[in-house]
Amino acid sequence: MVRLLQLGALGLALSGVSAAVALPQTDDGTAGKPKPPACKGLTKRQEWRNMKRSDQKAYVKAVRCVMTSPAKLPKLKALGAKTRWDELVMLHQVEALQIHSTGTFLPFHRYFLHVQQFLLGECGYKGGLPWWNEPLDSGNFLSSPLLDPVTGFGGDGTGAGNCVNGPFDGLTVSIGPGFNNQPRCVNRKINDFFSPLTNQTYVDDALSKPDYATAWLAIYMGPHLWGHVALAMMDGNSITSPGDPLFFTHHGFVDKMWWDWQAGNLPARLSDISGPNAMSPEIGFIEFDGGIADEAASQGWGSPSPAMLAITPDPKNGDNGGTETTLDHVMSSLGIIPDATVRDVMDIKGGYLCYEYV
């Protein structure tokens, strides 16, 4: 908690990021903007094992299609994106230092799943995204149906590169690890020593929090973090873990936790947002000690290149110059889909988004 309080006091943006780009505050989320259309025909996000086998297959087929479709955006291609999937991973990479350890963590990752849904749509997928009910498998990820090589996402990685078997075997991701871009297989290393920390006790603890300020932290530092640690997706690297499609089922679980928390008191929680809008370099990722420079070295991230910094959005865009995340905070997908505000994604049935967890 002490470190978090420091965040507010220092109010620092990542110096390199904010120095490189001073974007105008183009969009406050409401002014002059038509209200989003009413939501009709909610997309159902089902837990993976409750999906019909034909729907699971359609999902995997679409993910494989995105992973093998050529990149489209010149500025992302110039930075090393080879496929449409690489563009998605690069989005998470370029913005990594402003979407973690900040109040935008949950809204951004909700938006990020929406970006994934859009890309799957380009490949003809019309169904809802799957999510993973991790408490069902806590302590036993290794035997989860989601890790089945035939009916899941492939199992524990093997060999020197921890490459997975199953439907994503043989595919290449060119973004990461960290801020380096080296082509590698979809990889992960399951660790059932840590997976118990995604269990229902920790989910319930997060859902019991009285406000966003405490809820996002309990989710971020709780089941979200330990799920990542237990899966060690893409070299266990926080910056580019979305290279592994399993990332999106984990983050479906994370997003559902936020929604379940919101649903506990919608009138208040559809507009409850807070938290710093940028990491302080002196603090870095709150789950590690040492500040960004130390973490870059000890976690093997490297640093964003000048070219990456040049396309990195201002982490304070929309926050009226302040250091707190607001509803008008602008989230960018670097051109994959239009920017959105935090306000746009607060309600999963609000019109900009139109889905439910079943």
Ligand X SMILES: *[C@@H]1O[C@H](CO)[C@@H](O)[C@H](O)[C@H]1NC(C)=O
Nearest C-alpha neighbor of 92 from the set 357, 343, 336 = 336
Instruction: Give 138 or 181: the residue with its C-beta nearer to ligand X.
Output: 138
Tokens of 43: 């997309």
Instruction: Give 12 or 142: the residue with its C-beta nearer to ligand X.
Output: 142
Tokens of 21: 């780009």
- Minimum distance, C-beta of residue 255 to ligand X, in the bound complex (Å): 21
- Minimum distance, C-beta of residue 205 to ligand X, in the bound complex (Å): 10
Q: What is the DSSP letter of 151?
A: T
Instruction: Give 22 or 193: the residue with its C-beta nearer to ligand X.
Output: 193
Stretch that binds ligand X, among 74-82, 91-99, 121-129, 191-199 (CB under 6 A): 191-199
Which residues between 312 and 331 bind ligand X (CB under 6 A)? none
Q: What is the DSSP letter of 168?
A: G
Backbone torsions φ then ψ of 172, nearest 5 degrees: -115, 135
Helix (H) / strand (E) element for 122: namely helix 105-122
Stretch that binds ligand X, among 19-27, 195-203, 250-258, 324-332 (CB under 6 A): 195-203
- Minimum distance, C-beta of residue 101 to ligand X, in the bound complex (Å): 23
Contacts of 136 (CB under 8 A, 6+ apart): 144
Tokens of 124: 């003809």
Which residues between 199 and 238 bind ligand X (CB under 6 A)? 199-201
- Minimum distance, C-beta of residue 133 to ligand X, in the bound complex (Å): 13
Peptide bond into 130 cis (omega under 30): no
Cα distance between residue 88 and residue 301, in whole Å: 18
Stretch that binds ligand X, among 68-76, 94-102, 193-201, 289-297 (CB under 6 A): 193-201
Residue among 11, 16, 36, 196 that touches ligand X (CB under 6 A): 196
- Minimum distance, C-beta of residue 56 to ligand X, in the bound complex (Å): 27
b/e sequence 152-177, b meaning 16+ C-beta within 10 Å:
bbbbbbeeeebbbbbbbeebebbbbb
Cβ-contact 51, 59 below 8 angstroms: yes
3-state secondary structure at position 55: helix
Instruction: Give 190 or 203: the residue with its C-beta nearer to ligand X.
Output: 203
Assess 15 for contact with ligand X (CB under 6 A). Answer: no
Stretch that binds ligand X, among 46-54, 197-205, 283-291, 308-316 (CB under 6 A): 197-205
Instruction: Give 79 or 197: the residue with its C-beta nearer to ligand X.
Output: 197
Instruction: Give 200 or 214: the residue with its C-beta nearer to ligand X.
Output: 200
- Minimum distance, C-beta of residue 302 to ligand X, in the bound complex (Å): 33
Instruction: Give 172 or 200: the residue with its C-beta nearer to ligand X.
Output: 200
Instruction: Give 36 or 139: the residue with its C-beta nearer to ligand X.
Output: 139
Q: Which long-range contacts (CB under 8 A, 24 or more apart) does 140-147 make?
A: 140/192, 140/195, 141/190, 141/191, 141/192, 141/195, 141/230, 141/231, 142/190, 142/192, 145/48, 145/49, 146/48, 146/49, 146/246, 146/249, 147/190
Instruction: Give 122 or 204: the residue with its C-beta nearer to ligand X.
Output: 204
Strand partners, 131: 47
Cβ-contact 315, 18 below 8 angstroms: yes
- Minimum distance, C-beta of residue 201 to ligand X, in the bound complex (Å): 4
- Minimum distance, C-beta of residue 192 to ligand X, in the bound complex (Å): 12
Tokens of 61: 């087929």
Interface residues with ligand X (CB under 6 A) are: 196-197, 199-201
